[in-house]
Structure 1
Amino acid sequence: MKRCVIWGTGQVGKAIIADLCNMPYEVVAYCSSNFEKYADKTVNGKRVVSPAELKEMCEKQRVDSILIGVIHKCHLKEIQDRISWDFPTGIEVITWQDEGFQEDLLDKTRKNFKGREHIWNVDFEKESEIWVNHFSEEIDYWLLSAANPEGLEHKNCQKRLKNTNFISSERIHPFLTNAMLLSNQFDLTEGSVVMDLGCGLVSKYGNILPTQQRINLLQVDALAPFYNKIVEKFFPGEKGDHSFGLFEFISGFFEKEFCDLILIDNALDHCIDPYRSIVECLYILKKGGRLHLFHRCSEALFEGYAGLHKWNIDSDVDSHLVM
């Protein structure tokens, strides 16, 4: 068992300790770059040490590994540089973003589910409170990355706003292959109702099929009022046409057997209750309609459980959906 100190006392650092269960790491302490804030305090029952004390622990070989649990790249680099410059060599330094570490976590998760029955039980009131407390972070993300002309998503959003093709050029492998199959696989024709649920600031899909037939594409999101304002304010000449709808109550916004196809693109992990959300989606699908999910495996893990990223969507060895 490796003696490990988690460097980072924020949301990521606090959350990742649960992922270390049944892994070869014993968390002996937390470390904070802002030690004065945590002096004489504990995090998850573990004492918080200063970088200087952590260095001393490493020198005395009381620590085998340092797990860096921060999400911002600038802070991550600062910590990595400090360890590289000041700390003794031979200490294992890993981040929750390291591919090997995340693969170990995913393997552990899959093994825990294998051969076990799990009853889905969500504290809806608690999860709702978490969602309300963090949804503004999603808005901030789009303001910084898309509304800002220098933001990483600004050009992508401009392209999406102009795109009319159901199969957009943005949908690269493996999504491109899937998107190309959608219109044929799901028998989409003129007037088919397709909902991009949890679409974000701008849908990645257009309303014209490869056959030049037009579908009725609906952009639906719980943050629709904010997204419409952002589009109209920061993308001149464009009009926001999102419709408001909550995953968990979508049957209250749309009629039974309303949609031919529902697309959920890396958004189910944002939900208050993803299982309930799927059931609600099935209610508004037409008979023979499809619910299509595109998700990065264990998105919450990859995002460090930050903001609205609260659920890991995965599949087991039998290709069953695991949440």
Structure 2
Amino acid sequence: MDIPSLQNTATWDREAWTVRAPAEVEFWDRWITSKGDRWPVDFQRRTDPNAPLTPMLVDLLPHLDLTPGQTVKVLDIGSGPLSYVGYAHDTYQVDLTAVDPLSDEYNRLLDSVGVTGVVRTRPGYFETALADFGAGSFDVVWCFNSLDHSIDPVLGLVNLLSVVKIGGGLILSFCPNEAEQGKYKGLHQWNLDLDEGQLVLTQLGRKTSLQGLLDQQKIVKRMVGGSRAGVKERVTYLIRKTANVNLSQAMLR
């Protein structure tokens, strides 16, 4: 099957996404079979059932409506074969759900090397998260290097904000302009970036703002780092949900 061209954006649907997905599976195949490839510490963390929650998530927790001792429901969406979020915290129990469209392929690879004892990824798309889980189903949503791999990032972000409880939180982290850097290969078809401090989505010279969706919530912290030799620049938002999402209001300027 020919890979659809983005010059006709109407073809960028689930079928087109699936045609481009094997490159993503190949990357994770190398990572799994080599137990981390160039990132062995990453593999060790993701396969450790006692791994502590990632510091970014820990930093967000005090800003959320949580009670000490409660079970915190966390969604890792676009998780890849294994979640990076972690499982252990001194104050809270953690109930982790990991979702990725390629979960069946990833689980087959994990079975082949005997990985057990940690949460396995289940099938799911950004675009169906609200229908799959329902509104307000999670205390925290973790979205790391994945929204710009989706079919429809605007719908994806709306869904992520919708499945978080009011008083819960979203962590959105990305490397700017991955599609431009990757020459629109594989699943890199969208760019997330900052434009004068505003979150934007771009593709082949076209641009729209996503900032209105964030402005409906409380941005606890925005971090911009990296860009030194050998380290990609990264943008990370820690967000507290304070209101239900209204896409029409978010689009008005």
**Aligned match of 2:12:** 126
1:277 and 2:156 are equivalent in the alignment = yes
If the length of structure 1 is used for normalisation, what is the TM-score? 0.54
Contact 1:229 1:240 survives alignment (8 Å):
no
Matched, 1:320 2:231: no
Give per-residue Cα distances to partners, 1:175-234, cap 9 Å, x unaligned.
Answer: x5x34412223345521211111011211111222x242121111111111222212221
Q: Higher strand share goes to which structure?
A: 2
> Residues 147 and 181 (structure 1 numbering): CA distance in 2 closer, same or farther, change over 3 Å?
same
CA distance in 2, matches of 1:300, 1:248: 19
Q: Tell me if structure 1 keeps the 8 A contact 2:49–2:118.
A: no
1:123 Cα offset (Å): 4.4
**Alignment length (residue pairs):** 196
Q: Look up the SS of the partner of 1:146 in the other structure.
A: helix
Indicate the structure (1 or 2) with the bigger Cα radius of gyration.
Answer: 1
Tell me, in whole angstroms, the C-alpha distance in 2 between the residues paired with 1:237 and 1:198.
20
Q: What is the CA distance between 1:140 and its match in structure 2?
A: 1.0
Q: How far has the Cα of 1:161 moved from its partner? A: 0.9
Q: Deviations over 1:223-260 (max 9, x none)?
A: 11122221222144456621211101111211221011
Q: Calculate the TM-score normalised by the size of structure 2.
A: 0.68
Q: What is aligned with 1:193? A: 73
1:184 aligns with 2:62: yes
Offset of residue 291 of structure 1? 2.1
Question: Which residue of the partner structure matches residue 182 of structure 2?
Answer: 303
- Offset at residue 299 of structure 1 (A): 1.9
Once the two structures are superposed, the pairs formed by residues 46-61 of structure 1 within 5 Å of their partners are: none
Alignment-derived partner of residue 240 in structure 2: none
Deviation at 1:262, TM superposition (A): 0.8
In the alignment, the residues of structure 2 paired with residue 237 and residue 207 of structure 1 have an alpha-carbon distance, to the nearest angstrom, of 15
- Match for residue 94 of structure 2? 215
Q: Which amino acid aligns with 1:246?
A: Y
> What percent of counterpart residues are identical?
27
One-letter code aligned to 1:138? E
Structure 1 unaligned spans of 5+: 1-10, 19-121, 169-175
Residue 139 (1) aligns with residue 25 (2): yes
Higher relative contact order, chain-length normalized (CA < 8 Å, sep 6+)? 2
Partner of 1:231: 110
Choose from 34, 41, 45 the match for 1:159. 45
- The answer to whether the 8 A contact 2:129-2:159 is kept is yes
Matches within 5 A, 1:88-99: none
More displaced 10-residue stretch of structure 1: 268-277 or 279-288:
279-288
Aligned to 1:215, what secondary structure does the other structure show?
strand
Q: Match for 1:207: what amino acid?
A: Y
Shift of 1:287: 1.6
